[in-house]
Structure 1
């Protein structure tokens, strides 16, 4: 029996080495579906310095396609809202080019914050955009912050269920952008 012990030990080591080679050489599993991504843009001097919010959401499954828009600002008119599609570069460029006519500043939107989600449905987000837009602008109950949150929560069930994303009613965009999004784990603010 001892005669077979050494060859069996060598065979076990050899097979273990082969198994590890097979593990390394095995094809990688298919990548998981790309994450959803939502971003809020803020114009801190908007609405008498309480801020103005806008949104951008990534179309899941697309390499670089975003839906972005705003509601209730005459600086990036019309007041009843607008929505566009394009690349991240086009979205960011759009927000970067909006002039602050109210304060004669070359830039209106100055920062944005984003968050990844494990889900994201741009069609549902657009449905929510149209629903909020149809209600008409109201400073207290249907403003730019309400619109952005409706789009985010329509886009992602993760964001919809996140209790840290409190109601927009009686909240100012600057506070929401700086405080609520931070508490909800959104990325740090970046310059547009």
Structure 2
């Protein structure tokens, strides 16, 4: 297969980057299950160390599930999570190495043994690092579907784990509200670090 190099036009760049914003309120326009599946179908192509792919996603859709999740959010985030049409709890799989025979067939058994022999804390750090990379791509995938993402770190992670992931190796990483922007959804755009401050050349 031949891949032809191309670039995104200004509209696509705006959708994904320059015009994209974190939404703080959402309309009641629903987000479909097909859209949520489509988000993952894009996000799963993200890079990760040794193709370990530790990111996991729980889509919270039911009123009962929403009520449980809201109870674990910080006070400043409860209303936003309660009003979002869909919420994704992003987690990392602390036993992601068990999937190496699938994700890296040529070296799967070797990698499973190497990572399996690590202390659990070191393996968890590796999972969190790759999941963070994948999380960035997940947010771009939300935007690519014409939706707004509201990532939030204000939550009780161990409580979410106990409530939703008990008996599994999944550990909460980030909560992301997903939907169409509502009334006055944006805070004022804050400045970005200038090129001369952030970039050096060698």
Measured against the shorter chain, the TM-score band is: under 0.3
Which structure's residues are more often helix, by fraction? 2
Give the structure-1-normalised TM-score: 0.23
Give the structure-2-normalised TM-score: 0.22
Structure showing greater Rg: 1
